[in-house]
Amino acid sequence: MADTFISRTFDVPTGNRETVHDLTSTCTAFLDEVARGRSGLLNVFTPHATAGLAVIETGAGSDDDLLTALGHLLPSDDRWRHRHGSPGHGRDHVLPAIVPPHATLPVVDGALQLGTWQSVTLVDTNRDNPERTVRLSFLG
């Protein structure tokens, strides 16, 4: 049975444009502080109806490719029934069904176990909210 549960929130400025924000260094710093060499699970959660979390490659164009793919799947136009906010905002409320607002990742001996090119990212297509909250929870 796990004997440690530590949870903390932090804010992420996302501005007024679609973004894929890399959270990996924040996750690593959190684990360096709280895991202290223990193994367990890191849960990453964003409590928003219009944002999600993805484990993807960043910096080589994949983050922009993800936003392009989401633009094709969820166009920002007037087809959506959910109509408050900026035009096409209804698609932002569908995003978490495709890019979920949570990710649970393995931690071994205090280290996040990501693949070579994997990063933990916040995906935000909602231009109406310039700041997001993310909760990190370590169970180990």
Domains in the chain with CATH codes? 5-139 (2.60.120.460)
Q: How many CB atoms lie within 10 A of CB 133?
A: 14
For residue 20 the two structure tokens come to 């894929």
One-letter amino acid of 9: T
The pLDDT of 2-30, averaged and rounded, is: 95
Closest by Cα among 96, 103, 102 to 125 = 96
86 closest CA partner among 54, 52, 50, 122: 50
Yes or no: say if 135 and 21 are a contact pair by the CB < 8 Å rule: no
| CA 69 remoteness from chain centre | 17
CB atoms within 10 A of CB 48: 18
DSSP 8-state assignment for residue 59: S
The tens digit of pLDDT for each residue in 72-119 reads 999 988 888 887 888 788 999 999 999 999 999 999 999 999 999 999
Q: What is the pTM of this model?
A: 0.94
Rg (C-alpha) for the chain, rounded Å, is 16
